[in-house]
A and B are shown apart, each in its own frame.
Chain A
């Protein structure tokens, strides 16, 4: 055994990641508060992170874990920019409800 993580079969990790990803997707689709949507996006990213780590452990290939680092860096940057935009929006319309952000209606 390469690590103690392998005591839990791979299916369980995949199932968990899938469930977390699905929860994240549903949150993005159904929630109205922009900050909650950001959190759900983070949730989706973390689900993928977990999956990558699991596969990396089970196949003994480190590339998976390297990819996780990349994803985490990108996620951090994205959150910074996104929250900055959100603050600017709040300064203008005093709400973060995405239903109010429809000025680009065709």
Chain B
């Protein structure tokens, strides 16, 4: 029974972290990268074996208890793993995509001095992420949750000597922590309501409750605050574009495939609670759709290749939350999987382009890279087609399913989401045409160094491209008369499946319209950016007001700085000056000074004059005599 070895899965990356971290300077890139990749790869093999076991009919969720962690009074929280169908899917995604990204990093970070630190942090991240998806209660999940936030900070600020990158890392961590406060409050409320934080106990207790119980709604909303921070929804999303300061493999792993999906995993895991609380679910859907649309509009005017992909990630995460909000939990997970494939592919492809362009990230300086980077170009094209939703690539099926489910829930939301899909296609193809077609707009020096990436970088690209191409077939819609593998696989963990299915006519219409629309967009963006050679404006040029608003990301960062950061800074300066320096330092230093002064006065008793000493003795004796006579 492979399930008994489940504890090995997170242990191997942890060992990788320790070994690579301790051996540090003694390892060269191949060795440090090799150890790290091997650790995650072996975890992947074990996950695949466990997946094979769990995938069989009639398998029950297994709980693997590692040790008794917290037990005080009535509170008992063991450190245990839950191996059921949801966790094995997440395991496969995390370890699989993780292995590919580790392999890619060997090539990408080959010129980096500090590569052992990088690989040890990557392994530590995988360890915490695995804890997150394996945990059988909210507290073990929270350990993983916090840990991935920490590793995100360490990895974003990897090149810490640059102050801007360090600030971006700080921003990511602080925003995550704000979300975590909500998560913790939700867990506390859960303990007060249900008396337990174990998944199985909470969910079985909750399933007996009536709809719209206020406690359950409050718990769902608080947990969602945590998801907002971790999965970059409005208003806690601004850290994700700034997080592009980290090395590209970090962006691919953490901010596309795994960490940001932790929020969605948590909601899918807690689907019992969300199904019981339609109010909370509709708020989730609303925030998701707002984020999806909002981020897509910003992506239209970004000029850094990674920033476009970052806003795309925020937007796609919004899609997933919309799916969760309308009750389509399996669909959201389907989109998580396909998004992991194509977004990681796109990020790694962007990294390959940046590597070839000697570090250039501005798409206004790129162009005509198709010939110089054939493999990167082809895989990036597949990724773009997947995210834009061309059949039979993966993104088409998952996005189509979300749209169909949203139509059954609310036509207005469907329209907004459909417009967002159009915007997605537009900004992705803008990125694609400007990077790979047209004329080369970079410097001569960059042109001479253009080269396709080494095999360690192109092999993961190819693997991810294949997955993006065929990954959609695990969830075919009904009308193709093919089984929806994913939905059937996940059926045991879903509390209440929504039985409403969109009509076949609607599905056919939706699919055909989206394909036609996509073809139109591809042609229109091609003629705009390639044939007419329109370039995005340089920084020095003036933009008209709406474009300026988009290019400056709706000034959200500036608003946050004025409303939140500056007042807090002033408050902190005030407290520092008057309470820390004034009161506390004053008291401590003042005590010292007072003691000094008093002792300075007291030492004058020692006059050195013998007569004075004798006089003091006489006075003392007289005092004693008088006192003995009185008392």
Contact = CB atoms under 8 A, between A and B. Distances in A.
Interface of A: 25, 28-30, 32, 98-99, 101-106
Interface residues of B, number: 12
Interface in B505-527: none
A106 B599 CA distance: 11
A102 B603 contact: no
A105 B618 contact: no
A6 B614 CA distance: 36
Q: Kindly list the 4 A-B residue pairs having the minimum CB-CB distance in the complex, ordered from nearest.
A: A106-B606, A105-B608, A102-B608, A106-B603
25 contacts: A25-B618, A28-B614, A28-B618, A29-B611, A29-B614, A29-B615, A29-B618, A32-B611, A98-B609, A98-B610, A98-B611, A99-B609, A99-B611, A101-B608, A101-B610, A102-B607, A102-B609, A104-B608, A105-B606, A105-B608, A105-B609, A106-B603, A106-B604, A106-B606, A106-B608
Given A103-B608, A105-B606, 18 more contacts: A29-B614, A29-B615, A29-B618, A30-B611, A32-B611, A98-B610, A98-B611, A99-B609, A101-B608, A101-B610, A102-B609, A105-B607, A105-B608, A105-B609, A106-B604, A106-B605, A106-B607, A106-B608
Contacts of B606: 104-106
Interface in B607-626: 607-611, 614-615, 618
Which among B603, B608, B615 has the highest number of chain A CB atoms within 10 Å?
A: B608
A30 B610 CA distance: 11
Interface of B: 603-611, 614-615, 618
A101 B604 CA distance: 16
A28 B444 CA distance: 104
A66 B323 CA distance: 111
Contacts of A104: 606, 608
A104 B607 CA distance: 8
A99 B608 CA distance: 9
A104 B603 CA distance: 11
Contacts of A102: 607-609
A29 B410 CA distance: 108
Nearest to A98: B610
Nearest to B607: A105
B408 to A, nearest CB: 94
A104 B609 CA distance: 8
B93 to A, nearest CB: 79
A29 B611 CA distance: 6
A22 B614 CA distance: 14
A25 B618 CA distance: 8
A32 to B, nearest CB: 8
Nearest to B610: A98
Contacts of A29: 611, 614-615, 618
Contacts of B615: 29
Nearest to A28: B614
A106 B602 CA distance: 9
Nearest to A30: B611
